[in-house]
Amino acid sequence: MHDIQTPDIASVERTFQGLELKAEQRDNGIFAAIVKALLSNSNQWMRAPDIVDRIREWKLTTNDGQLSGKTPTSTIQGTISTALKLAKSRGCEEPIEKHQIKNLTYYRLSLHLFTDSRIRDSMNTIPPTPPPDPPRLAKDKKRSPTKPTRSTASSRGTTKRTTIDSDVNIITTKKIKISHNTSPPINLTDNEHNEHDSQFLIEPSVKKKSTKYQPSEDYGTPESVIEEPMTNEIDIIDSSTTTTTTSSSSSSSSSSPPSPPSSLMITKGPIDFDINTINGPKSFAIIQETGYSYSRLSRLRRSENRYPKSKCEDAFCVKDLRRTDGSFMARLFCLADGHGGSGCSEFLISRVPNRIQELLQDHPANFDNKDDQQWFREQMEHLVRKLDDEYIEAKRVEFRRWKSRREKQSDSNSIPFVDGRSTFILNDTDSMPPVDDGSTVIINIFINDWLINVNVGDSRTFLACRGKNNKWSVEFASEDHKPYLERLALKIYSNGGIFVDSNDDPIKFDPTPRQRRTRPSLKNARIRLQGQDSENEDGVPYINETGKYWSINVAATCGDLLFKLNRSRRVIDCIPDVTFRKLGKFAECGGDRFLLISSDGLFDHLKESRIDEQNNEVAKFIGGLLDNGESVMNVVKKIGSREKYTTLFKDFSQVYDDITCILISL
């Protein structure tokens, strides 16, 4: 063990000047303060809160790097994370080392920074050791509760991809059956950096197989889609930082009554993302809750009668967009609300940020210039269309393989078939079609003085501000892409779509253009295909497992192959709305504005049904809480508590959709 002497401020400054640091590292006030704090403690391993205390105790900050705000610990962690990432992007040695013990992170200076070997040896401190585990106490074995034999979990598809059964109104969660894999994996690789350290899952089939995207640990090119191992039955689990899912265990026989699982809400803040907390909007919080339902037939108390879905279909990400030299360029918030499965939403989240970063790196834009705004609008239309094409073409291949296997099954009459990879017998599991899922996507980019909103679907963004009378009002709101919008309804109808009500009965539609924004007769309409008598060449089923035609209640999406079978005449398209709002310098913002990004799991459960009034009511609710001194995290938690705040939300719903809310204080 090394002898440790407590240094004084003068020796810390001398040692600091002799370190092998880059110029930008020395000039960064917060980073320099972190380095000096570690030096003042003889490079002992320290946690972020300890570094904060040492900086304040020794007054190590400079005027341009003052440590302030309500979350100084996240500032320290964000600054270190940015420094490590910048060093990695430049191929340099990292200036700070990290040591993880369970859920605690410790830091010290990398030894290569010390040019004097004597100082280097004295700074080679021993890592902390985890505390010993407490002795285990013997416990009586208890029988685990059985899983409910009847699932009534809500599915995103119940509002978008399935029709409502008015006689029952109980939605069951589908499980994915795994059988013999019968076709090679679909290659959906993307030569880009992935922001997440966990697996992104694509659900190509029901009761068939699952494929996943596996980003490498060094943010390199993701691997090809990997097929799941062959098992009898699985629930897909995603441990990503962008999505949270709940997996139900297999049922077991027990005489005790089943215990329904509780709904799960996760929370995220700046500390949970690899971002520079000095730049861009830095006060934000995110909640996500997996959808759930209540059984109408159960006599259990409401608190005991709650059944979450097996998987949340929403996905989100927060990412700093950087220039080619690694410097901060913009902050991006992205939300994708999946329906029919989580494959498309996770596909979008894993690709959108880096595609936009590459676009802005190659063509830096000045958004004060209208021509640059128009250029970016056109580029975003192209970018979203390209991603949509990649996903639905992969799905098209998947459905055609399934169709081919089904036809061979019919010809062979269940005789073993060899496809070059394996010998198998087609059975009922093989007869199930792949999953045809889709997703909304809404993107908000904070770049220089500008907010850029990109929207496809019915997830929503609105910007609220506090007026001179201290009342909160909505300054900007994205437009939900619903069938009742005149500009979308005309295109849907002309490309082969019809409008139906919740009972699947056609709604009369006059294709004559009208000088109005909406059609009231289509307020609650769903979209269905015309001419579904004969099978399409891709083999995508027109009818769901209940015997009803597939329909959807959103008028613009990514994915949803069924509505894009004709490449040149898509019934539902993915053209985004792109809006620019000049906000001013984010560093000068004083909390008089906030931005809310949310899936429709929030808005569909409000008492107010008119969109403008929905936005105003939510803005007043959030603004009032912020005015009362509530933290952004506490406010967004309350927004997600749909059964608690009955002044804002409906008193009772049978089914609660997935919900994701991102609240950003400006």
Give residue-wise pLDDT tens across range 333-359: 999 999 999 999 999 999 999 999 999
What's residue 594's pLDDT? 96
* Cα 85 to Cα 91: distance, rounded to the nearest angstrom: 10
519 and 395, same structural domain?
yes
What digits encode the pLDDT tens for the residues 239-272? Answer: 333 333 333 333 333 333 344 444 578 999 999 9
For the residues 23-34, what does the mean pLDDT come to? Answer: 87
What's residue 546's pLDDT? 77
217 and 87, same structural domain?
no
Transcribe 175-230 into DSSP letters. PEE-----SPPP----SS----SS-EEE--BTTS--EEE---TTS-PPPPPEEPP-
What's residue 279's pLDDT? 86
630 and 529, same structural domain?
yes
Q: Is residue 223 part of a domain?
A: yes
What digits encode the pLDDT tens for the residues 296-316? Answer: 766 666 767 788 888 999 999
Query: Among 158-162, 462-466, 516-520, which is the least confidently predicted range?
Result: 158-162
Q: Look at residue 374 and tell me whether its pLDDT is greater than 80.
A: yes
Q: Is residue 473 part of a domain?
A: yes
What digits encode the pLDDT tens for the residues 518-549? Answer: 999 999 999 999 887 778 899 999 988 778 89
Q: Look at residue 447 and tell me whether its pLDDT is greater than 70.
A: yes
Length of the chain: 666
170 and 61, same structural domain?
no
Q: Is residue 138 part of a domain?
A: no
417 and 301, same structural domain?
yes
Q: Is residue 4 part of a domain?
A: no
Q: Find out whether 437 and 339 touch, Cβ atoms under 8 Å.
A: yes
**Coil, helix or strand for 147?**
coil
Q: Which residue from 196, 558, 563 is spatially nearest to 344, judged by alpha carbons?
A: 558
Q: Look at residue 118 and tell me whether its pLDDT is greater than 50.
A: yes
Sign of CA dihedral 489, 491, 493, 496: negative
* Cα 472 to Cα 626: distance, rounded to the nearest angstrom: 11
What's residue 187's pLDDT? 46
323 and 192, same structural domain?
yes
163 and 107, same structural domain?
no
285 has which bridge partners?
A: 663
Tokens 């008598």 — which residue? Answer: 533
For the residues 409-427, what does the mean pLDDT come to? Answer: 44
Sheet holding 211-213, edge to edge: 200-202, 211-213, 226-227
For the residues 612-623, what does the mean pLDDT come to? Answer: 96
Q: What is the CATH number of the domain that holds 74?
A: 1.10.10
105 and 30, same structural domain?
yes
What's residue 601's pLDDT? 96
Query: Among 45-59, 189-203, 318-332, which is the least confidently predicted range?
Result: 189-203
Give me the domain span that covers residue 43.
9-122
Q: Is residue 145 part of a domain?
A: no
In the chain, % of residues over pLDDT 70: 72
pTM equals 0.64
More confident residue, 338 or 219: 338
What's residue 376's pLDDT? 98
For the residues 606-632, what does the mean pLDDT come to? Answer: 95
* 297 phi-psi bin (left φ>0, alpha ψ -120 to 50, beta other): alpha
What's residue 235's pLDDT? 32
Query: Among 79-93, 433-447, 641-655, which is the least confidently predicted range?
Result: 79-93
For the residues 415-429, what does the mean pLDDT come to? Answer: 38
Residue ending a domain, choose from 79, 103, 122? 122
Q: Is residue 174 part of a domain?
A: yes
What digits encode the pLDDT tens for the residues 559-578? Answer: 999 999 999 999 999 999 99
Q: Look at residue 225 and tell me whether its pLDDT is greater than 80.
A: no
Cα 353 from chain centroid (whole Å):
11
For the residues 413-440, what does the mean pLDDT come to? Answer: 58
Query: Among 182-191, 374-383, 404-413, which is the least confidently predicted range?
Result: 182-191
The count of C-alpha atoms lying within 13 angstroms of the C-alpha of 252, restricted to the half-sphere facing its C-beta, is 9
Q: Look at residue 126 and tell me whether its pLDDT is greater than 50.
A: yes
For the residues 203-228, what does the mean pLDDT come to? Answer: 33
113 and 225, same structural domain?
no
210 and 96, same structural domain?
no
Q: Look at residue 26 and tell me whether its pLDDT is greater than 60.
A: yes
115 and 174, same structural domain?
no
DSSP run (H or E) holding 338: strand 328-339
In the chain, % of residues over pLDDT 90: 48
Q: Look at residue 150 and tell me whether its pLDDT is greater than 60.
A: no
Residue ending a domain, choose from 100, 122, 144? 122
431 and 348, same structural domain?
yes
506 has which bridge partners?
A: 500
Residue environment code for 243-254, b if the CB has 16+ CB neighbours within 10 A, otherwise e: bbbbebeeeeee
What's residue 653's pLDDT? 87
Residue ending a domain, choose from 122, 147, 172? 122
- Total number of domains constituting the chain: 2
What digits encode the pLDDT tens for the residues 570-602? Answer: 999 999 999 999 987 654 456 789 999 999 999
Compute the mean pLDDT over every residue in the chain, rounded to the nearest whole number: 78
What digits encode the pLDDT tens for the residues 636-656? Answer: 999 999 999 888 999 888 899
Q: Is residue 192 part of a domain?
A: yes
pLDDT band at 82; cut points 50, 70, 90: confident
CA dihedral 500, 501, 503, 508 (to 10 degrees): -60
What's residue 202's pLDDT? 37
Q: Find out whether 435 and 343 touch, Cβ atoms under 8 Å.
A: yes
pLDDT band at 133; cut points 50, 70, 90: low
What's residue 25's pLDDT? 87
Q: Look at residue 78 and tell me whether its pLDDT is greater than 50.
A: yes
What's residue 131's pLDDT? 57
Q: Find out whether 176 and 337 touch, Cβ atoms under 8 Å.
A: no
Q: What is the CATH number of the domain that holds 395?
A: 3.60.40.10
Q: Look at residue 217 and tell me whether its pLDDT is greater than 70.
A: no
Sequence-ordered strand ranges (E) for 62-173: 96-101, 104-109
For the residues 618-636, what does the mean pLDDT come to? Answer: 95
For the residues 9-14, what does the mean pLDDT come to? Answer: 84
Q: Is residue 584 part of a domain?
A: yes
What's residue 204's pLDDT? 38
Q: Look at residue 188 and tell me whether its pLDDT is greater than 70.
A: no
Q: Look at residue 23 and tell me whether its pLDDT is greater than 70.
A: yes
Q: Look at residue 112 and tell me whether its pLDDT is greater than 80.
A: yes
* Cα 125 to Cα 88: distance, rounded to the nearest angstrom: 24
Q: Look at residue 475 and tell me whether its pLDDT is greater than 50.
A: yes
Q: Which residue from 24, 2, 4, 34 is spatially nearest to 16, judged by alpha carbons?
A: 34
More confident residue, 615 or 213: 615
